[in-house]
Structure 1
Amino acid sequence: MPEAPVGLVLLAAGRGTRFGPEPKLLARLDGEPLVRHAAAAALAATTLASGLGPVVAVLGHAEPEVRAALRGLPLTLVRNPAYADGMATSLRAGLAALPDAVEGAIVLLGDMPRIGAGLLVRLAGAFREAAAGGAPAPAAVVPVRAGRRGNPVLLNRRLLADGLSSLAGDRGAGPLLAARSDVLEVPVEEAGILLDVDTPAALAGLGGTAR
């Protein structure tokens, strides 16, 4: 039986106001724009396991510059003209751009550069294994480290369709999942699931620099 297809959505549309006037996702880390790290991890995951992909990147703030930062990568680029209304609009735009056959979607944040491809493969595997043998698929698969839920999160597009369509604001799917008992938590060791770059100080802590 073929594996349930799992797509990937990279949210790269936000303004990142806490970072300052410069576009956060264009800051440099390890010689690359910040946003390119998450994109590269997503694409690497598609080469490690079957049934993963496509990778959709949602753009908004500083769109021409972010688009240029992702040049050369085999991504599906989607523009969200309503990005200023919050993360929920970008999440909906990214999910809508995935093929209908995609049952699960791993949602990555463009400001989380320490997510590895192996973790993404593991989340997809946990989603498929949970539904093996006819068992109900979980609403989401969430990585957990030291008792804390992190990102990225895999969302069940079928089970959450109604709730996802009504999301608003800047909190993504968090409020939707908080009220559910069918979220699968996967213990991990990767500190990167709790590490996002919101400020120049956070970037400096990783050895990165502004443009």
Structure 2
Amino acid sequence: MHIAAVILAGGEGRRMGGADKALIRLAGRPLAAHLAAALGPQVQALAISANGDPARFADLGLPVLADAAPMGPLSGILAGLLWAAGQGAQALVSAPVDTPFLPADLVARLAAPGPAVPALAQAGGRLHPAVALWPVGLAAPLAAFLASGAKPRVTDFAFAQGAQAVEFPDPAAFDNLNTPEDLAAAEARLAAPAGEGRG
């Protein structure tokens, strides 16, 4: 299956003091670079969804997709779906820029059920709806959903399209870095000797 991926970097980073999360450094590299390293080897094409000056991501060498109308993660997913279709992809995998510990088999597991309906990551009984696989044919229904005035919740749209959850064994693989404390914990995790922490 030809699969593309999009890094969702449109968040405002309010709990990080309004910082651009994609450019926050973890172990000396921007979070966006961690995501690119995690997702790039798993897919045929990779882009980043972000608004504002795309030049700030020039070092990544990735296409930067702006939202037509910023309405949260679904806007970034829509931009990604439209771009992925142009790449000849059958499906798009999305992931937030603040999830640097994604598993190496993320795309393979999400793709296992096939590209017919969305597949959302789940671990430890918790759903992670922004970490998901989306059939590219959902671009038009998603655009209609966003234009309808409905509250743009990822789960509402996904389950209306028959989404299924895909279980992953390690809940820590989906940890979000939302606060300076989360970032400090991630730094410690990456600095831990092999066997004592992830990374």
Indicate yes or no: 2:31 matched with 1:31.
Answer: no
Kindly indicate whether structure 1 or structure 2 has the higher relative contact order, using CA contacts under 8 Å at least 6 residues apart. 1
Question: Match of 1:15, SS?
Answer: coil
2:42 is the counterpart of 1:56 = no
Mapping 1:190-205, distance limit 5 Å: 190-205=170-185
Distance in 1 (CA, whole Å) between partners of 2:120 and 2:67 is: 25
- 1:42-67 alpha-carbon deviations (Å, 9 max, x no partner): 11213xxxxxx2112112146433x1
Aligned residue for 2:193?
A: none
Distance 1:14 1:145 in 2: 23
Q: TM-score, normalised by structure 1?
A: 0.74
User: Counterparts in 2 of 1:74-85, with a 5 A limit?
Assistant: 75-80=62-67, 82-83=69-70, 85=71
Q: Is the 8 A contact 1:91 1:172 kept in 2?
A: no
The answer for the alignment partner of 1:146 in structure 2 is 124
**What pairs up with 1:61-76 in 2 under 5 angstroms?**
61=52, 63-65=54-56, 67-68=57-58, 71-73=59-61, 75-76=62-63
Q: Is the contact made by 1:113 and 1:192 (CA closer than 8 Å) also made in structure 2?
A: no
Structure 1 residue 72 displacement after superposition: 4.5
- Deviation string, structure 1 residues 14-72 (Cα, Å, up to 9, x no partner): 222222132222221122111211111111213xxxxxx2112112146433x14xx14
* Matched ranges for 1:49-198 at <5 A: 53-61=44-52, 63-65=54-56, 67-68=57-58, 71-73=59-61, 75-80=62-67, 82-83=69-70, 85-100=71-86, 101-124=88-111, 126-128=112-114, 137=116, 139-150=117-128, 151-158=130-137, 160-168=138-146, 171=152, 173-180=154-161, 182-198=162-178
Root-mean-square deviation (CA, aligned residues, Å) is 2.6
> Percent identity over the alignment?
25
| Structure 1 unmatched runs, 5+ | 47-52, 132-136
Q: 1:20 and 1:89, CA in 2 relative to 1: closer, same or farther beyond 3 A? A: same
SS in 1 for 2:84: coil
Q: Which consecutive unaligned segments of at least 5 residues does structure 2 have?
A: 189-199
Change (3 A) 1:200 1:142: same
Residue 167 of structure 1 and its aligned partner are, at CA, apart by 3.9
Q: Give the 3-state SS of the residue equivalent to 2:18 in structure 1.
A: coil
TM-score normalized by the length of structure 2 = 0.77
Cα distance change of structure 1 residues 77 and 170 upon mapping to structure 2, 3 Å threshold = farther
- 106 and 171 in structure 1: CA distance in 2 versus 1, 3 angstrom threshold: same
| Matched AA of 2:107 | L
Amino acid paired to 2:176 = D
Q: How many residues align?
A: 183
